[in-house]
Amino acid sequence: MELFLQFLFSGITVGAIYALIALGFNIVYNATSILNLAQGEFLVFGGLLMWYFLEKLNLPYGFSFLLALGATGFVGLLMERFTIRPLQKTADPLLLILITIAFSILLRGILMFLFGKDPYGYRPIDEGPPLIIFGAILQRQVLWILLFVVLTLIFLYLFFNCTMIGRAMKACSVDKTSASLMGINTSQMVMLSFFLSGIFAGLAGILITPITFIEYDKGPLLTIKGFTSAILGGLGSNWGVMAGGFLLGILESLIAGYVHSGLKDALALLLMLIMLLFRPAGLFQSAEQARLRKL
Amino acid sequence: MKDTILNPNTKTYIYLLIFYIVILSAGFSIKDPYILTIFVFAGLNALSALGLSLLMGLAGQISLGHNGFYGLGAYLSAILSVYYKVPVLLSIVIAVTFTSLFAILLAIPALRLKGHYLAVATLGFGEIIYLLLNEWGPGGPSGFGDIPRLYLGAIELSSPLHFHLFVWTLFAVAFFFSLNLANSTYGKVLRALHASETALRTLGINIVSLKVKIFILSAFLTALSGAIYAHFVTFVSPATFSVFYSVLLLMMVMLGGIHSLWGAPIGALFITFLPETLRPFKEYDILIYGLILTLGLIFFRKGIIHLLEVGAKRWLPFLK
Amino acid sequence: MILMRLCLFLIFLFLFHVATYASKEPIKIGAILSITGPASFIGEPEKNTLLLLADQINKAGGINGRPVQVIIEDSKSDETQAVLSAKKLIERDKVVAIIGPSTTGESMAVIPIVTQAKIPMISLAAGTAITEPVSERYWIFKTAQYDRSAVEAIYRYMQKKGIKKVGILTITTSFGDQGRKALLELAPKFGITIVADERYKPKDKDMSVQLMKAKNAGAEAIINWSVGPEQVIVVKNWHSLKLGIPLFQSHGWGSKKNIELAGPSAEGVIAPLSRIVVWDKLPDNHPQKKILRDYYMAYTARFKTEPGTFGGHAYDAFMMLVEAIRKVGPDPAKIRDYIENNIKNWPGVSGIFNMSPKDHCGLDHTSFEMVIVRNRDWEILH
């Protein structure tokens, strides 16, 4: 029992990280149908900037937090302005995905230039000893991550359903032409979505660094995990991708615990592949829903 | 147009012949084994990229899992020749055949998926192969070496020049057949796949079988390239066959130009030589590399091949 | 007056000519290092060390009056790139010897090329296969200790403390894999049973599961084999799980940065480390002390950071080559012979080398000190 709980907590820790990345993916995907594969680099950017503000400039925790968030959001804006917008007209989804990959390589180069290759870390939000629940141990930072995941979901729900701007964004994702006929500035909406995804990636980076440390080339593998989670849960739905993240994390952890740690990634991926074949739209929505959501 | 007696199909074959001759004579005139080695890697990449280009350009399917085929080809051939003492040429044939068969298993279910879902399914496949090579491949993550070199009859391919001639000849042959395929009715049907699946379905064309066939061909070419890689470098480790190879291939195909098969060799040559020319920038080459890729995709979105075509039309009017 | 000026001018011209003549023909040494990519934590200090040493040697007049030029290529921790780098160094730059590559995989990929070109190579990686079998590795040396020497140092210590059951955690890179093989292979010799053999991937985020499994399998100690941020995550997980059994790390643990990153979690972690890490705690009469101090001081003064274990490998490789070239001239075959036969009782940074036609590494487990982290500092265990 204790062992199982420990495996579960470990899975939740990793899953919470995946969930945060997957959410960032989903925001951009919902607004633009683009998969932003530079998401992992945004995240690294957030973590490294937080380190810079906190440890190098000795700014207060909360202030560094906000600064780092704003800065990653700004990088999202820049990316949209200089790479996505010039290509919007071609509307070739493959080209748009590739440009995000190319940009991620560029961003990685910049990060290496600015911060070097060392891993960085800083203190967690709450420095108390880890929690012990029925003999299993859970780091406090994980609770904070869970809190932020919930806050993010509530924020996104309110934003997309109760604010004018959020509804406009939603309208864009359903049908761009109609939306623009209704007087919505669609290119501003795309820009906003990249800003938001930058902020959420930054949030993820800031929160996970005390647990996993961060270095300039951590991005690609985080991107792949986040991407897998998003597909697993079903792109399009915020709740779905979040659940996908936790599911993947817990799955990996249980496989490592009960099967073998050397096979955890391969088996988790295999399960995902099998699932994809039976439920191509993700675990939590039917193909019908997915089609309605997009198209 | 009036004065030419050649139809466009014949012309592409002439271009291929010219390209082949140019590449071969480059091999003979370049004495520097370092440059030749880059050419060999470029040729191997071109072979893989051709496979991906067929899949993407003709069948309109995306794959992020070609690193899996590349790795399977390399590992199988290496294992057969090192541990089972199979003669090298035979080991390559077996490895490539087996990988192609394996591709069927993947293609039949996976090709039901579309767009992002196909991308993630192939990504998952490539990752699984990579992880299994780590776990079960001889030598584990450290890989294994002393893989025998390639023999053609009694000639051992030992120098980069030998490999250069061999790889690019292989490429030319593969390209010849690919052009045939692209220009055949079959190829036209495949191109139409892009436009409308429903229309094809109403015509009674079996789309799935077409897609599967092209997928297998694509896997075949990439596996072949991987197998030759193993016998050229004589050492393999899983790191070479990670998902980053698939991303690299994707870059080659897109930057070279997806609307023409010519994009594959052009993109492969460009992407393989680029980091080598960036060596003077030391470790900051990744910055410049990323910048060039980003700008390239923004400004030459139809690929380098499009630039060449436009340039040729403008400056070499007799080609019309 | 004019004549005198002319004379002076001619003298200057002559001196200038002599000076340029002396500096015209540098001796070229190539280096293939993983400066970027996953193994960059190894390549970076190696690069710095070579830059530092080349400047020192040239400032002191070069080798036999000729300056030395180190041409450093970044292999991006990638075998294909390492092969291309080797080709470039040999064919383009015509180097007399090659230092590196930094990792075992890259070294293995480069070996056929340097062997064919008959250029001596001093690898900076640990893998046993790099220099063995020696009969097939005529041109290859290495200055990094064998993984099994580090394992042996740990196992000897465990034997002394009566630890019999261990759980091992290794990372699925060539570094972790080499360590894992050595750990499994040597365990029986020291009466040790491996009760858990767990693995994790680079960039994994939490290793609690692996640690718990090892503990539950009855391990009396844990050995973790990895470098980079993952090994610090293991330390943090080990600390927060309060496992109550000691944690051993590989020789890749020897960097103050790791202690900084792990914070209080690092207290009590034990590892076999190169003496460069604990040079200030060695007795003054230790044969390596002076070399270690000079290297440490010069390195930290220039790069504002510690050299760590890996920089030392590059130091030894470079100094061996300098000594060989000084004695026998820049001739690849003679350099090889010199290193094989004349590096005896040779104090370097990583240990005291004894090369021979049977051993192209020349270091054993005595080149390590067992070191524990106490009060955020290293302490030698005796």
Extract the runs of DSSP E, i.e. beta strands, from chain A. Answer: 131-133, 136-138
Provide the token pair at A164.
């004018």
CA dihedral B70, B73, B74, B77 (to 10 degrees): 180
* Identity of the residue in A98, A105, A280 whose CB atom sits nearest the CB atom of B117: A280
Pairs of residues, one from chain A and one from chain C, whose beta carbons lie less than 8 Å apart:
81
Residue B7 has pLDDT above 80, yes or no: no
Residue C247 has pLDDT above 80, yes or no: yes
Grouping H, G, I as helix, E, B as strand and the rest as coil, residue C68 is strand
Residue A75 has pLDDT above 90, yes or no: yes
What region, left, alpha or beta, does residue C186 occupy, with left being phi > 0 and alpha being psi -120 to 50 degrees? alpha
* Identity of the residue in B284, B297, B298 whose CB atom sits nearest the CB atom of A113: B284
CATH number assigned to the domain covering C148-281+368-380: 3.40.50.2300
pLDDT, residue C194, reads 96
Omega cis (within 30) before C246: no
B319 pLDDT band, cuts 50/70/90, is: low
Is A229:A22 a contact under the CB 8 Å cutoff? yes
Please tell me if residue C304 touches chain A, with a CB cutoff of 8 Å. no
Quick: pLDDT tens for B173-221: 999 999 888 887 777 776 766 666 666 666 666 777 888 888 999 999 9
Is B114:B226 a contact under the CB 8 Å cutoff? no
Quick: pLDDT tens for A246-289: 999 999 999 998 988 888 888 888 888 887 777 777 777 666 66
Measured in whole angstroms, the distance separating CA C135 from the mean position of its chain's CA atoms is 23
Nearest to B43 by CA among B56, B26, B61, B67: B26
Quick: pLDDT tens for C312-340: 999 999 999 999 999 999 999 999 999 99
Question: Which ipTM did the prediction report?
Answer: 0.83
Cβ count near C376 (within 10 Å): 13
Q: Which of residues 161-190 of C touch A (CB under 8 A)?
A: 172
Question: Apex CA A235: angle with CA A11 and CA A190, to 5°?
Answer: 120
Residue B269 has pLDDT above 80, yes or no: yes
Q: What's the count of helices (H) and strands (E) in chain A, helices before strands?
A: 12, 2
Residue of chain B minimizing CA distance to A282:
B117
Largest Cα–Cα distance in chain B? 63
pLDDT, residue C182, reads 92
pLDDT, residue B209, reads 80
CA dihedral A277, A279, A281, A287 (to 10 degrees): 120
Provide the token pair at B172.
């030319």
For C186, how many CA atoms within 13 A lie in the half-sphere containing its CB?
A: 21
pLDDT, residue B165, reads 93
C270 pLDDT band, cuts 50/70/90, is: very high
Fold of C24-146+289-364: Rossmann fold (3.40.50)
C261 Cα to chain A: minimum distance (Å): 6
pLDDT, residue B4, reads 42
What are A120's strand-pairing partners?
A: A214
Q: B290 or C9, which is more confident? A: B290
CB contact under 8 A, C109 and B235: yes
CB contact under 8 A, B131 and A265: yes
Query: Cα–Cα distance between C81 and C330 in angstroms, integer?
Result: 26
Residue C372 has pLDDT above 80, yes or no: yes
Query: Cα–Cα distance between A237 and A281 in angstroms, integer?
Result: 11
Is B278:B285 a contact under the CB 8 Å cutoff? yes
Please tell me if residue B128 touches chain A, with a CB cutoff of 8 Å. yes
- CA distances in angstroms from B298 to A87, A260, B285, B295, listed in the order given: 7, 45, 20, 5
Is B79:B138 a contact under the CB 8 Å cutoff? yes
Please tell me if residue B139 touches chain A, with a CB cutoff of 8 Å. no
Query: Cα–Cα distance between C293 and B6 in angstroms, integer?
Result: 77
pLDDT, residue B91, reads 95
Average pLDDT in chain A:
86
Please tell me if residue A268 touches chain B, with a CB cutoff of 8 Å. no
CB contact under 8 A, A273 and B298: no
Q: A192 or B285, which is more confident? A: A192
Helix or strand holding residue C251 (H, E): none
Side chain identity, residue B119: A
Nearest to B69 by CA among B224, B190, B198: B224
Q: C377 or B158, which is more confident? A: C377
Quick: pLDDT tens for C174-192: 888 889 999 999 999 999 9
The residues of chain C that CATH labels 3.40.50.2300 are 24-146+289-364, 148-281+368-380
pLDDT, residue C77, reads 85
For the ranges A33-42, B115-124, B229-238, the lowest mean pLDDT is seen at B115-124
Is C142:C106 a contact under the CB 8 Å cutoff? no
Please report, rounded to a whole number, the percentage of residues in chain C having pLDDT higher than 90.
65
Provide the token pair at A55.
């440890």
Nearest to B266 by CA among B227, B238, B308, B310: B308
Backbone phi and psi for residue C142, each to the nearest 5 degrees, phi listed first = -150, 150
Q: Spell out the domains of chain A, with CATH numbers in brackets.
A: 2-293 (1.10.3470)
pLDDT, residue C101, reads 94
